[in-house]
A = this chain, B = another copy of it.
Amino acid sequence: MSSSADAGRVSACAVAVDVALLTIRDGALAILLVEPDTPDLSGRWSLPGRRVRDDESLDDAAHRALLELAGIAAPGAHLEQLRTYGEPNRDPHGRVVSVAYIALTPHPPEPRPPAGRARFFAVEEVGGRELALAYDHERIVPDAIERARSKLEYTPLATAFVDEPFTLADLRHVYEAVWGVEVDAANFRRKVVSAEDFVVETAGLSTPGPGGGRPAKLYRRGTATTLHPAMLRPR
């Protein structure tokens, strides 16, 4: 919007970003949380967040939050806005409007926080009572999880959780981990290969595990941005 016209009661108002970094760990959806070493927060874990600098884009601030608070450089991770949380009293330190992001990455990059602690939690643990989150992150985290779950339905975003090249079993395990349900391998295969440009077949084959098994074809990400038809989760 413009400026000049409306003076009003507009004063210092901070803009921050909070990042929900999601990954697949031990077959389950996991989220990165940090424990600030500041004494005033009674050991509550929170999403990594930083104030946005004057010369920095919101996306850049999100990457910086991951780097400075968890030691994670994830330049290739999928990063997208979740929504902006701006209730006047959401932060006890003053008015802070926070742009929340979700970031998706394959495998857990090991957190190396310069201060405090940082680790991945299975999302199942986060809902419980024993893990209290700071600020309004109790609201942001479920929003982030639901966003990931629903975007797997109508976008090819599941591929952001696997390294290339990948097998269709790898991709299916992503859906199973994020949705928390079993997916029929045969029907899954048909839907993935029939959805236009979701994945592209390579010439390679996977090497079977120690117990044997037929080698699987290897695939790479396709160019699609939405899935036709969608991969709907069971209702």
| Residue positions of A touching B, CB distance < 8 A | 1-6, 8-18, 36, 38, 41, 46-47, 49-58, 65, 68, 81, 83-84, 86-88, 91, 93-99, 134-135, 228, 235
Contact = CB atoms under 8 A, between A and B. Distances in A.
5 contacts: A1-B17, A1-B51, A2-B46, A12-B12, A57-B88
A55 B3 contact: no
A228 to B, nearest CB: 6
Contacts of A235: 228
A228 B84 CA distance: 28
Given A4-B38, A56-B88, 14 more contacts: A1-B46, A2-B134, A3-B91, A6-B51, A9-B53, A10-B54, A13-B52, A15-B15, A52-B86, A57-B86, A57-B88, A58-B97, A84-B99, A97-B97
Contacts of A9: 53-55
A82 to B, nearest CB: 9
Contact of A3 (B51, B54, B99): B51
Contacts of A65: 1
Given A1-B16, A5-B36, A36-B5, A55 B88 contact: yes
A114 to B, nearest CB: 11
Closest 3 CB pairs of A and B: A1-B49, A3-B93, A58-B86
A97 B36 contact: no
B41 A2 contact: yes
Contacts of A2: 36, 38, 41, 46, 49, 91, 93, 134-135
A134 B2 CA distance: 9
Contacts of A81: 83-84
A188 to B, nearest CB: 19
